[in-house]
Amino acid sequence: MRILIVEDDPSLASGLARILEAEGYAVDVTSRGEQAVEAARQERFDLVILDIGLPGIDGFEVLRRLRGAEYRMPVLVLTARDTVGDRVHGLDLGADDYMAKPFAMPELAARVRALIRRSQAQTGPRITHGPLTLDTVARRAYLIGEPLDLAAREWAVLEVLLGKVEKIVSKEAIIQAVAGWDEELSPNAIEVYISRLRAKLERAGVKIRTVRGFGYMLEEFKQS
């Protein structure tokens, strides 16, 4: 899952990104509202964390443009202006939740999980592939009914492959899906994550095939 942080305080943005990346999310950060609107136009985000006090166009205008373009991802608004009028204005523009600065990082992480859980309620948070199940909200994986320990990046790579069963996914496409804009992730690193996933999954018949020169494919599960 991909989250966009729109925050012009570098230390706060860095802290938010670090917390969310540790929970397995791909995180992108921008400090300007115009860039946020353009990013939403070009890429799919599962949630936006939006500061109101931005240089250039402010967060309210960003929110207005996102909803005007009918982007449906949840938006969590952050602001140092904790007045009733500001909260009402943000909610009226389409914000899904509102947090006043300063706030506790664990609470923000919980709010993020709640918003994503709510947004997935219609489609369901679980992905099942034979004996493998991923709960994308609780961030838990199960293999043959037993908990499966996955590192954050392994989870992200597997989630991409599960979204394209029986379809070839290139290393470049995986990198684009799981890495933030400012992260350096090499094709060799993807090979390592794939190797680790195979070691954990193939005992249960879940197979990731290498398609030479193209990428990887999660094969359709076949009961043996």
As a whole-number percent, the residues of the chain with pLDDT over 70 amount to 96
Domain 2-119 has CATH 2.60.40.420: no
Q: Which residues in the chain are classed under CATH 1.10.10.10?
A: 126-218
Is residue 137 predicted with pLDDT exceeding 80? Answer: no
- Within a 13 Å sphere around the CA of 87, how many CA atoms are in the beta-carbon half? 8
List strands edge to edge, sheet with 2-6: 26-30, 2-6, 47-51, 75-79, 97-100
Is residue 206 predicted with pLDDT exceeding 60? Answer: yes
Highest mean pLDDT among 11-25, 131-145, 169-183: 11-25
**Rg from Cα positions in the chain:** 19
Identify the CA nearest to 25 among candidates 190, 170, 195, 180. Answer: 180
Is residue 164 predicted with pLDDT exceeding 80? Answer: yes
Q: What is the mean pLDDT of residues 125-142?
A: 84
**pLDDT score of 5:** 97
**Residues counted in the chain:** 224
Identify the CA nearest to 28 among candidates 20, 60, 111. Answer: 20
Q: What is the mean pLDDT of residues 159-187?
A: 84
CA–CA dist 166, 216 (Å, integer): 9
**pLDDT score of 39:** 92
**pLDDT score of 124:** 58
Pairing type for strands 132-135 and 126-129 reads: antiparallel
Question: 121 pLDDT band (50/70/90 cuts)?
Answer: low
List Cβ<8 Å contacts ≥24 apart for 63-68: 63/90, 63/93, 63/94, 63/95, 64/93, 64/94, 65/37, 66/37, 66/40, 66/94, 67/93, 67/94
**pLDDT score of 143:** 94
As a whole-number percent, the residues of the chain with pLDDT over 90 amount to 53
Question: 190 pLDDT band (50/70/90 cuts)?
Answer: very high
Q: Which residues in the chain are classed under CATH 3.40.50.2300?
A: 2-119
Q: What is the mean pLDDT of residues 9-17?
A: 95
CA–CA dist 133, 192 (Å, integer): 22
Q: H or E segment at 49?
A: strand 47-51
Is residue 1 predicted with pLDDT exceeding 60? Answer: yes
* 3 state DSSP class of 146: strand
Question: 221 pLDDT band (50/70/90 cuts)?
Answer: confident
Q: What is the mean pLDDT of residues 158-181?
A: 86
Q: H or E segment at 66?
A: helix 59-68
> Rounded to 5 degrees, what angle do the CA atoms 59, 63, 65 make?
115
Q: Which CATH class is domain 126-218?
A: mainly alpha
CA–CA dist 176, 39 (Å, integer): 13
Q: What is the mean pLDDT of residues 31-55?
A: 92
The whole-model pTM stands at 0.62
Q: What is the mean pLDDT of residues 97-122?
A: 85
For helices 84-93 and 59-68, angle between their N-to-C axes, nearest 10 degrees? 20
The DSSP call for residue 213 is T
Identify the CA nearest to 2 among candidates 220, 176, 204. Answer: 176
Question: 87 pLDDT band (50/70/90 cuts)?
Answer: confident
